[in-house]
Amino acid sequence: MDWGMKNRLSKVISPKTGKTVMLAVDHGYFQGPTTGLKTPKESLAPLLPFADSLFVTRGILRNCIDASTNIPIFLRVSGGPSVLGELSNEDITTSMKEALRLNAVGVGLSIFVGAKNEDRTISNLGRLVNEAEEYGIPVLAITAVGKEMERDARYLGLACRIAAEMGAHMVKTYYCKEDFKKVVDGCPVPIVIAGGKKIPERDALQMARNAIDDGAVGVDMGRNIFQSESPVGMIQAVRAIVHENKSVDEAFKIFNELKTKN
Ligand code: 5RP
């Protein structure tokens, strides 16, 4: 790996703990004004000090994030369909030049394995990696799961491995209760988990704990943080698991204390 690539990755995955808490706030790129992110500027400001990087589109970055921020930016560069259309119908929407202009530490796009346009989205990934390698920019591949897909280790393992084979430097996928370790073991690049739909805080912390125990390097979590009763409490509780190796009970205590305080 070249110096630039290594340097950018070290801004996302802590060299001290080998782990990362990425805050995913890109949901509006196909969902519009998502609950918890209706006014992104206000929702995000208190969370930024606790995230290792922000996974965001260029539109929200330019309009809602202060340019003096120190938080590393991972830029969502794919899109196309809205929630009303065929979700796998994605292309690359943001250029590498734009990513550099925005001082991004990395770029991310979705692949839709098993969906109508799987071949196109996997080719998108290959093309993005070709361009990103030219500039030393890490690529995060997101294994989007269509409604018709089973979120089991077999499917997730297939999607993660394809992403790594195409050259992704990191992969974001969903956690599955059974055999998630097999998904991690089959993927030769670091895996972070998405949180998925909002679930009770303790359950989300348990999911993060399990994923870390199975070998994930962290989370790229959105709704289970910004839709929480206490987003600031939740992101710090997640950090405690990811970076401090705390138990679920300890992390949940941190969440409850911060919820009361705030
Ligand atoms: C949407 C995404 C989101 O970034 C990802 O789903 C993470 O957010 P959440 O924790 O809310 O699932 O890539 O396609």
Q: Please state the domain count of the chain.
A: 1
pLDDT bracket for residue 146 (50, 70, 90): confident
Q: Would the CB of 143 count as within 6 Å of ligand 1?
A: no
Whether 262 shows a pLDDT value over 80: the answer reads: no
Residue 12 belongs to a domain: yes
Determine, yes or no, domain membership for 240: no
- Element counts in the chain: helices (H) and strands (E): 12, 10
Per-residue pLDDT reduced to its tens digit, 50-91: 999 999 999 999 999 999 999 999 999 999 999 999 999 999
Percentage helix, strand, coil, to 5, in the chain? 45, 15, 40
Q: Check: CB of residue 216 under 8 Å from CB of residue 189.
A: no
Asked if residues 90 and 110 have their Cβ atoms less than 8 Å apart, the reply is yes
Mean pLDDT of 238-260: 98
Does residue 249 fall inside a structural domain? no
Domain containing residue 154: CATH number: 3.20.20.70
pLDDT at 149: 77
b/e per residue, 217-228, with b = 16+ CB within 10 A?
bbbbbbbbbbbb
Pocket probe for ligand 1: among 20, 21, 26, the residue whose CB has the most ligand atoms within 8 Å is: 26
d(CA 151, CA 222): 18
d(C-alpha 113, C-alpha 137), whole Å: 24
14 found inside a domain: yes
Q: Is residue 179 over pLDDT 80?
A: yes
Q: Is residue 48 part of a domain?
A: yes
Cβ-based neighbour number of residue 18 at 10 Å: 11
CB-based burial label for 249 (10 Å; 0-12, 13-18, 19+)? exposed
Average pLDDT over residues 206-220: 98
Quick check: 60 and 40 in contact, CB under 8 A? yes
Mean of pLDDT over the chain: 97
What distance in Å separates the CA atoms of residue 47 and residue 176, rounded to the nearest whole number? 27
- Which range of residues forms the domain containing residue 80? 3-194+202-221
Is 256 within a domain? no
Task: Go through 129-157 and write b for each residue having 16 or more CB atoms within 10 A of its CB, e for each that does not.
Answer: bebbbeeebbbbbbbbbeeebeeebebbb
Phi-psi label, residue 179: left if phi above 0, alpha if psi -120 to 50, beta otherwise: left
pLDDT digits (tens, 9 = 90+) for 96-117: 999 999 999 999 999 999 999 9
Q: Whose CA is nearest to atom 5 of ligand 1?
A: 194
Is residue 122 a part of any domain in this protein?
yes
Give me the pLDDT at residue 238, please.
Answer: 98
Is residue 236 in some structural domain? no
Count of alpha carbons within 13 Å of 78, Cβ hemisphere only? Answer: 27
Q: What is the pTM of this model?
A: 0.97
Ligand 1 neighbour 195 (Cβ under 6 A): yes
% of the chain residues with pLDDT over 90: 96
Q: How far is the CA of 92 from the centre of ligand 1 (A)?
A: 17
> Where residue 39 falls among pLDDT bands split at 50, 70, 90?
very high
